[in-house]
Amino acid sequence: MTQSAPGNGQKLTGGAKFAVDMGPLGVFLIAYFFGARLAPPLGALFGQDWAIGEGEEMFLAVGMFMPAYFAAFGYSVWKERRVAPMLLVTGVIIGVLGTLTLILHNKAFFYMKPTIVYALFTSVLAAGLFTGHNFLKIVFDGALHMPDAAWRTLTKRYAAFFIVLAFANEVAWRYLMRECDLAGDAACAGEKHWVNLKVFGFTAASLVFTAFQAPFIVKHMPQEDEQP
């Protein structure tokens, strides 16, 4: 099932939206946890030695994640005939930090990515509140209809939530990798814990937080007899 979107495109729904949102993360996880096993047989098919040494998993995962993300972004633009602001902003950050990670061979840049993304989301939402623009309403793209006062309250909650996630990521990666050589190929025991936190922990936290906003949203949604 599809819905009309601005620009004569169609809104992503169902499986397509899930693939765009979660597909690149799936590629990242497969490359990180299974890349060392999959690389040698795949390389053998092309007569190449694609062995991945212990400690190099993050570089492989970043190298696979970036094209997967931009492929998902390109599909979203092509299908909807518009650029989703959050995908674009996140894509720019991924492109810059991912490239620095690979070129400078330093994992710290990618560890900082969630911190920068969440801090930027908070900054944008806060700037919108101060300038009279509700960017959260734009992100929801007409899916919710609430009074402006309710949108402002919801925006404050999300801004606070994102800054908590930014702080949590910064503390987590610095603590977990405190004894690791981030600019080298040596294995780091804490890295796998950070990957799990980034992919599963922050995703679960976001889902739980959003679920807790449901009563507030329902309370301020117009009743059927109030619909125009």
pLDDT in tens, 64-78: 999 999 999 999 899
Q: How much is the mean pLDDT over the chain?
A: 86
**CA-CA distance, 138 to 142, in Å (whole number)?**
7
CA dihedral 69→86→18→223, nearest 10 degrees, is 180
Question: Are the C-beta atoms of 114 and 202 separated by less than 8 Å?
Answer: yes
pLDDT in tens, 100-114: 999 999 999 999 999
Q: Where are the domains of the chain?
A: 1-83, 106-228
pLDDT in tens, 9-41: 677 777 888 898 899 999 999 999 998 888 878
Tell me the two tokens of residue 11: 């809104």
Mean pLDDT of 131-157: 84
Q: Among 105, 34, 103, 98, which residue's Cα sits nearest to residue 67?
A: 98
Question: Are the C-beta atoms of 183 and 105 separated by less than 8 Å?
Answer: yes
**CA-CA distance, 97 to 42, in Å (whole number)?**
27
Q: What is the reported pLDDT for 119? A: 96
Task: Specify which residues 4 forms β-bridges with.
Answer: 10
188's CB contacts (< 8 A; 6+ apart) are 55, 177, 180, 181
Q: What is the reported pLDDT for 205? A: 96
Residue 200's Cβ-side half-sphere holds a number of Cα atoms within 13 Å equal to 7
192's CB contacts (< 8 A; 6+ apart) are none
**CA-CA distance, 97 to 76, in Å (whole number)?**
22
- Higher pLDDT, residue 8 or 94: 94
What DSSP assignment string belongs to 148-204?
HHHHHHHHHHHHHHHHHHHHHHHHHHHHHTTTS-TTS----HHHHHHHHIIIIIHHH
Q: What is the reported pLDDT for 177? A: 92
Question: Are the C-beta atoms of 20 and 27 separated by less than 8 Å?
Answer: no
